[in-house]
Homo-oligomer: A and B are copies of this chain.
Amino acid sequence: MLTCLKFVVLLLLLSSRSCDGLQFNDIDEEVELVAQSSRYGSLWPLPQKVQLSDVSFKLTTSSFRIVDAKESSAGPSCSLLQNAYRRYYDYIFENAKKSWQAKGKRTGPSELGELQVWITSADSECDGYPSVTSDESYELTVNQPFAVLKAPKVWGALHGLETFSQLVYKDEFGTKNINQTTISDFPRFAHRGILLDSSRHFLPIKVILANLETMAMNKFNVFHWHIVDDQSFPYLSRTFPQLSQKGAYHPYTHVYTPADVKMVIEFARLRGIRVVPEYDTPGHTQSWGKGQADLLTPCYAGSKPSGAFGPVNPILNTTYDFMTQFFKEISTVFPDAYIHLGGDEVDFTCWKSNPDIQKFMEQQGFGQDYSKLESFYIQKLLNIVSTTNKGYMIWQEVFDNGVKLKPDTVIHVWKGNAQQYKNEMANVTSSGYQTLLSTPWYLNRISYGQDWQGFYKADPQDFKGTEEQKKLVIGGEACLWGEYVDATNLTPRLWPRASAVAERLWSAKDVTDISDAFNRLSAHRCRMVERDIPAEPLFSSYCPHEYKGV
């Protein structure tokens, strides 16, 4: 069964010059693995329930079709599904585009003729946007005379199509095969995200789209777009065009136009992925100040302004007027129900140096506690964003500083060592807030060896707390901060390392066998490579089709 996999990965674990004690100092806890065929083939992330049989069927380009089931609530007018059928047909037959239009032959006795896709709920949500409460479940039955993929909503159908494509393998004659299979699947966590940072380095649209495509292959469903930061402001705002005019690395070549943003959002939607933009204030805003006078706090050296600027100036009414207009625009540009408002790492040095701020602190009775000033700002910002009817996510500092938050706020945990982030998860959830974990999944941090194993082992519910608290963990995000990545190296650095996080967030809690994960992930990475994604190797091995680029 699944004989193709024997070819996919062949690993020899032998002593080697670069594997001696000196070279592996830093990965002592990792397990060295020999890849073999998993009984689950190349399924990734592993579905919740899988029943596989040895009976196999052939798939041929000329006769196999993916079609709407008669009973489906989504018909030919659902372009999201029609688009997905074509995409997965291409993946299944390795870009055999020519054959798509060929006339259907009658299928032979051991041939699978159709995959019928059946959206069972009256509202397929075909033209909607995915959300944190979307139903992503699906049931897949592969049997003769046809396979059936049932899902309440299109979101589950998209995941089921990916799973179906992962079941297909080549036999020794090059024919595509699929085994009789029954799968029932749904995600363990509702929020499974990737953070990309387009401020430290500008990421061309092509790179963002390729990574959205890869996210879909891994059943990620949130693109957290850390779009602006200190270093550059590539977002072209209709209301405040001078922000990118002055704040982008280049006002024409290094910006995201409204059309670009729209394209990213639609490309993501077609793959069941939400786009949650982050506009981080009051810190991380140096690039904002270039195009918006008086937005940032002037820092002082002694009794005179030094020429440098600090965080957003929290004591001016103009600041809040600006934020009101700005977030009104953002709330219409991005359809998602949430905006990420940042709020992390506010440096008080500049505020402390400024005599106007000092006076304001006195008037407000804040004493020397600048975190009160920070909270003052954030509180006003949250009120502004609330009027746009958006929910918000914020980095953990905002919670830590005791800012008053709406009950539906999502607290994003990113700081500390293992013990510290577990305590934080416990604190946040015992206060009744929903939370997202990122601390163990800072994929920008690299080390020699198989660091995916560490990402794989982290579990967002692994902290002391009640069942109620655990339920408040809505998922997590793998973060690839941009200091050291751009179009040249982002994709191989992200994949398949992020795939480890994908399985942790999708599959059942007890899917923790590192050795089986290695086998499936090795095959999954070769599949990504075959789909033209430069996903890097886990260890010495080969793929039947190596990456075609450089």
Contact B22 A416 (CB under 8 A): yes
Judge if A300 is at the interface, Cβ distance under 8 Å: no
Contacts of A406 in B (CB 8 A): none
Judge if A101 is at the interface, Cβ distance under 8 Å: no
Contacts of A415 in B (CB 8 A): 22
Q: Kindly identify which residue among B23, B344, B347, B548 contacts A17, using a CB–CB cutoff of 8 Å.
A: B344
Judge if A39 is at the interface, Cβ distance under 8 Å: no
The stretch that binds B, out of A202-210, A424-432, A516-524, is A202-210
Contact B550 A533 (CB under 8 A): yes
A312 to B428, CA, bound (A): 61
* A201 in contact with B537 given A23-B442, A284-B16 (CB within 8 Å): yes
Q: A16-B200, A483-B540, A489-B492 provided; 5 other pairs, C-beta below 8 A?
A: A15-B347, A16-B483, A204-B547, A446-B447, A489-B493
The stretch that binds B, out of A47-55, A249-257, A354-362, is A249-257
Contact A547 B284 (CB under 8 A): no
Contact B14 A230 (CB under 8 A): yes
Q: Kindly identify which residue among B12, B23, B417 contacts A231, using a CB–CB cutoff of 8 Å.
A: B12
* A529 in contact with B249 given A206-B550, A447-B448, A539-B483 (CB within 8 Å): no
Contact B540 A201 (CB under 8 A): yes
Contact A207 B254 (CB under 8 A): no
A18 to B195, CA, bound (A): 12
Judge if A19 is at the interface, Cβ distance under 8 Å: yes
- Interface residues in A216-239 by Cβ distance below 8 A to B read 229-232
Contact B14 A286 (CB under 8 A): yes
Q: Name A444's closest neighbour in chain B (CB-CB).
A: B18
Contacts of A486 in B (CB 8 A): 536-537, 542, 546-547
Q: Name A550's closest neighbour in chain B (CB-CB).
A: B210
* A231 in contact with B446 given A254-B542, A534-B489, A547-B487 (CB within 8 Å): no
Contact A483 B550 (CB under 8 A): no
Contact A286 B550 (CB under 8 A): no
Contact B484 A449 (CB under 8 A): yes
Contacts of A492 in B (CB 8 A): 488-489, 492
A142 to B314, CA, bound (A): 56
- Copies of this protein in the assembly total 2
Contact A345 B536 (CB under 8 A): no
Question: Nearest Cβ in chain B — how far from A180, in angstroms?
Answer: 30
Contact A540 B200 (CB under 8 A): yes
Contact B529 A345 (CB under 8 A): no
Contact B493 A202 (CB under 8 A): no
- Interface residues in A1-20 by Cβ distance below 8 A to B read 7, 10, 12, 14-20
Contact A16 B481 (CB under 8 A): yes
Question: Nearest Cβ in chain B — how far from A268, in angstroms?
Answer: 16
A322 to B64, CA, bound (A): 53
Q: Kindly identify which residue among B18, B230, B487 contacts A550, using a CB–CB cutoff of 8 Å.
A: B487
* A442 in contact with B18 given A542-B254, A547-B486 (CB within 8 Å): yes
A485 to B22, CA, bound (A): 19
Question: Nearest Cβ in chain B — how far from A211, in angstroms?
Answer: 8
A286 to B486, CA, bound (A): 39
Contact B201 A484 (CB under 8 A): no
Judge if A174 is at the interface, Cβ distance under 8 Å: no
Judge if A283 is at the interface, Cβ distance under 8 Å: yes
Contacts of A230 in B (CB 8 A): 12, 14, 16
Contacts of A444 in B (CB 8 A): 18, 448
Contact B254 A537 (CB under 8 A): no
Judge if A491 is at the interface, Cβ distance under 8 Å: yes
A214 to B46, CA, bound (A): 41
- Interface residues in A374-400 by Cβ distance below 8 A to B read 395
Contacts of A344 in B (CB 8 A): 17
Contacts of A169 in B (CB 8 A): none
Q: Name A12's closest neighbour in chain B (CB-CB).
A: B231
Contacts of A286 in B (CB 8 A): 12, 14
